[in-house]
Amino acid sequence: MHTVKNWFNRSLAAQALVLFVLGLGFGAVFRRGDHPALWAVQSLLYTAVIIGILAYQRRRTARATGARPGTVVDLNRRIRHRDVPADPEERAVMRRLVEDQLGKMERGSRWLPYWLGFMGLIAVGMVVLGATSGSLAFPVVFAVGVIVFCSWILWMRKRAMGLHHHMRSALRERG
């Protein structure tokens, strides 16, 4: 399982394959009346857009840190495990990576309340529409899903910020 996880983390082709299959599955479930070729074309389009965005982000992070994308993946794994490298060059790359990612998270925190508020408005709007139409089952499930999703985002952000702040201080101590 460990090698499959590492292969999936490093390979855009593996991620593209999983995205395509998931898109095809969603097309089959939610667009039963359409032709299967349409499912495949839509899934291919969505996969291409998402993989293009991921490749751009990987390239941008690699340029910011001065490392190859594979090295960045390994360093991110080491950050998650709170493992500080012994090699000074690797520590310098990790320091740049931590600073880059902390900067992104701190810049993103400015918009986080607005996004969460927007998600809350959508959930409340769905419940109101459901109440006026007489069907509350789907809107309530949707609202609960939005609340769980927003809570998960906040928890993951707090966890990532804690990990990165820990790594920043650990890298400064050994620096």
Judged against a pLDDT cut of 80, whether residue 96 lies above it is answered with yes
Q: Which residues contact 126 (CB under 8 A, 6 or more apart)?
A: 138, 139, 142, 143
Question: In terms of pTM, does the model score above 0.85?
Answer: no
What's the rounded mean pLDDT across residues 7-28? 89
Portion of the chain with pLDDT greater than 70, in percent = 98
Q: Which of 13-17, 56-60, 157-161 has the highest mean pLDDT?
A: 157-161
pLDDT band at residue 1, thresholds of 50, 70 and 90? low
Predicted confidence at residue 33, as pLDDT, reads 85
Q: Which residues contact 23 (CB under 8 A, 6 or more apart)?
A: 39, 42, 43, 44, 46, 47
Predicted confidence at residue 46, as pLDDT, reads 95
Please, are residues 75 and 141 in contact by the beta-carbon 8 Å criterion? no
Of 35 and 6, which is predicted with more confidence? 35
> pLDDT tens digits for 56-95?
999 999 998 888 888 888 888 899 999 998 888 999 999 9
Judged against a pLDDT cut of 70, whether residue 166 lies above it is answered with yes
> pLDDT tens digits for 128-156?
999 998 888 889 999 999 999 999 999 99
Domain ranges of the chain: 1-78, 87-175
Predicted confidence at residue 147, as pLDDT, reads 94
The whole-angstrom separation of Cα 145 and Cα 37 is: 31
